[in-house]
């Protein structure tokens, strides 16, 4: 009887193992490849609970013009343009959100910049917010979209320096855009990664209960690339950083569980320009840097912008 019972347990265990492996293979082939490239769209009006201080420019005491930017492949990207609230405009900041976010998440920072003499263009990246597009390619295609954005900003604010400020996904795209277009004269990079396969492995481990598999990551990225028609393995902001010789301010939380700070530190170390700075936010996570120490970050941002203005005069 004991032998028969053991055989039954072994058989049942084998069935469970097959189901687990089969389910895992199905997820790798048909679910995981879409998780990054097809992000959830945040539409503020449908998710007002995510915006406790409001999601309209008027909620932040600013006026904004709605704008559509046409990409080279025919997509309409949604943007908001906010002018400087001073009599002068020191420059224009293009602001990029993180994955599954939208341009409205940058309204608090845009108000801060506008009050201090900077115009802002807040962009919904392709496949996000109110912009067209089905797939996110983590900068592979988006860096070309930012060329069109730079065209738009240059036409609307002729002669004004253009900066770019991106968080997480937006930070990775910002570095690639700076390499791709020298009109972005300075940058602010928050909580981003160095190479797409690295961050994919981090997120994959989160979904797989800490299990890390190079095979799985490579397979998922290969499938993602085939679906969205891009090369995920070539998305390496650290290589872009190494080719940028312009000022950049980097910031990252020292307790970021999503993207380890050492990823972004590699970007900082690769950048060649002497006007660069690394800020580590104590006890900061991935998305709460400004809640953790907003006063310090505000001071550092404006010190950096003032240094950029001084450098532009010489």
Cα distance between residue 193 and residue 202, in whole Å: 10
The upper half-sphere exposure of residue 51, i.e. CA atoms within 13 Å in the direction of its Cβ, equals: 21
What Rg, from alpha-carbon coordinates, does the chain have?
Answer: 22
Q: What residue spans define the domains of the chain?
A: 31-312
Q: Retrieve residue 75's tokens.
A: 């997509």
Whether 196 contacts 217, CB under 8 Å: no
Q: Which of 199, 177, 180 is nearest to 188 (CA)?
A: 177
pLDDT of residue 21: 39
Among 100, 267, 118, which Cα is nearest to 179's? 267
pLDDT score, position 20: 40
Tens digit of pLDDT for each residue in 101-151? Answer: 999 999 999 999 999 999 999 999 999 999 999 999 999 999 999 999 999
Q: Which residues of the chain have pLDDT under 50?
A: 4, 7-23, 209
- Three-state DSSP state, 122: strand
For residue 103, the 8-state DSSP code is G
Q: Residues 42, 101: contact at Cβ < 8 Å? A: yes
Helices (H), ranges, 87-127: 107-115
Of the candidates 242, 269, 241, 253, which has an alpha carbon nearest to the alpha carbon of residue 173? 241
Provide the pLDDT for residue 25.
Answer: 56
Cα(279)–Cα(277) distance, integer angstroms: 7
Check: CB of residue 291 under 8 Å from CB of residue 309.
Answer: no
Residue 203 is predicted with a pLDDT of: 82
Q: Report the candidate in 171, 177, 313 with the shortest Cα–Cα distance to residue 249.
A: 171
> Domain spanning 31-312: which superfamily?
Alpha/Beta hydrolase fold, catalytic domain (3.40.50.1820)
State residue 29's pLDDT score.
85
What is the rounded (10 degree) CA torsion for 142, 122, 154, 306?
A: -110
Helices 107-115 and 289-312 pack at an angle, to 10 degrees, of: 40
Residue 314: predicted pLDDT: 66
Identify which of 273, 212, 229 has the alpha carbon closest to the alpha carbon of residue 140. Answer: 229
- Half-sphere exposure (Cβ direction) of 88: Cα atoms closer than 13 Å: 6
Sign of the CA dihedral running 304, 305, 306, 312:
positive
pLDDT at 206: 61
Number of other residues whose CB lies within 10 A of the CB of residue 220: 26
* pLDDT recorded at residue 30: 86
- How is 149-171 classified by DSSP, letter by letter? HHHHHHHHSTT--EEEEEETHHH
Contact between residue 188 and residue 301 where contact means Cβ atoms under 8 Å apart = yes
Give pLDDT, residue 229.
97
């Amino acid at each position: 009887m004991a032998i028969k019972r053991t055989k039954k347990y072994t058989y049942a265990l084998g069935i469970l193992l097959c189901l687990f492996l089969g389910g895992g293979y199905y997820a790798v082939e048909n679910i995981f490849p879409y998780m990054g490239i097809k992000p959830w769209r945040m539409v503020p009006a449908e998710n007002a609970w995510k915006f406790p201080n409001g999601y309209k420019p008027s909620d932040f005491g600013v006026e904004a013009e709605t704008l559509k930017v046409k990409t080279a492949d025919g997509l309409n990207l949604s943007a908001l343009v906010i002018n400087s609230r001073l009599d002068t405009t020191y420059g224009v900041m293009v602001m990029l959100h993180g994955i599954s976010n939208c341009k409205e998440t940058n309204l608090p920072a845009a108000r801060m910049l506008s009050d201090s003499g900077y115009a802002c263009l807040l962009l919904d990246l392709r496949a996000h917010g109110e912009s067209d597009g089905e797939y996110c390619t983590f900068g592979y295609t988006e860096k070309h979209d930012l060329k069109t954005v730079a065209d738009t900003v240059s036409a609307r604010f002729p002669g004004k320096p253009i900066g770019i400020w991106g968080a997480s996904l937006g930070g990775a795209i910002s570095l690639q855009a700076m390499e791709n277009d020298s009109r972005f004269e300075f940058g602010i990079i928050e909580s981003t990664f160095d190479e797409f396969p690295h961050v994919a492995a981090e997120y994959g481990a989160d979904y797989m209960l800490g299990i890390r598999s190079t095979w799985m990551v490579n397979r998922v990225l290969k499938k993602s690339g085939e679906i969205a028609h891009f090369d995920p393995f070539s998305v390496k902001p650290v290589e872009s950083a190494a080719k940028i010789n312009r000022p950049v301010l980097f910031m990252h939380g020292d307790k970021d569980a999503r993207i380890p700070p050492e990823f972004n530190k590699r970007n900082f170390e690769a950048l060649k320009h002497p006007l660069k700075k690394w800020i580590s936010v104590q006890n900061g996570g991935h998305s709460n840097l400004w809640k953790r120490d907003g006063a310090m970050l505000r001071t550092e941002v404006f010190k950096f912008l003032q240094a950029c203005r001084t450098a532009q005069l010489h």
